[in-house]
A and B are shown apart, each in its own frame.
Chain A
Amino acid sequence: AQKVTQAQTEISVVEKEDVTLDCVYETRDTTYYLFWYKQPPSGELVFLIRRNSFDEQNEISGRYSWNFQKSTSSFNFTITASQVVDSAVYFCALSEAEDKIIFGKGTRLHILP
């Protein structure tokens, strides 16, 4: 059965610090997709990134970067030079061949000014 673990319930950092959000997943499939979503205080869910199991290249998008390591079943998310606007709940998610997407419990990130 698929499972996503976000062990960090809540993180607080001072603005401009770097922060990494951890995501560990479990799956029996060899083909799967991983996702990150952001939920700001306004409540909507915002898609950040999708990564398939065959592409282990790290990805960078502005201040955001993602480190996918199949060997450790991890898909970690790093925010560089954090800003107050990055304060949100961040969810990691996993999709297998059954199509359903399972989410982790989320990490609440506080960026302190």
Chain B
Amino acid sequence: NAGVTQTPKFQVLKTGQSMTLQCAQDMNHEYMSWYRQDPGMGLRLIHYSVGAGITDQGEVPNGYNVSRSTTEDFPLRLLSAAPSQTSVYFCASRLPRYTGELFFGEGSRLTVL
């Protein structure tokens, strides 16, 4: 049982480059989300989705795009990377209706030069 799988685990980008962080879960969870973790800032919600075809903004959505075409996948796109997006990114999924705990991926460390 793989749970939540994020790729890549490490990435270095130059300012202005684009990239996609991949997230897949095999638990049939309807809810998926992306967080970024920065020192002293905790985990901040970027975008989330309550099911295929539905996405919504979190606390810090600017500079990021998401889509949810399947239940399993929830990619996070950086269209034009900026140094301020240097962070550790976590994908997480949960059962619906806000009752269940989040299952997290291992994280992706992104550095933007």
Contacts and interface: CB of A to CB of B under 8 A. Distances in A.
A, B from the same assembly: yes
Interface of A: 6, 9, 32-33, 35, 37, 43-45, 47, 50, 52, 91, 93, 95-106
Interface in B7-44: 31, 33, 35, 40-44
Q: What bracket does the count of chain B residues touching chain A fall in?
A: 20 to 34
A93 B103 CA distance: 13
B105 to A, nearest CB: 9
Given A6-B42, A52-B99, A93-B102, 17 more contacts: A35-B101, A37-B102, A44-B106, A45-B92, A47-B101, A50-B100, A91-B42, A98-B98, A99-B31, A99-B97, A99-B98, A100-B56, A100-B58, A101-B33, A103-B35, A103-B44, A105-B40
Contacts of B100: 50
Instruction: Classify the interface of chain B: helix, strand, loop or mixed.
Output: strand
A43 B107 contact: yes
Nearest to A29: B98
Contacts of B101: 35, 47, 50
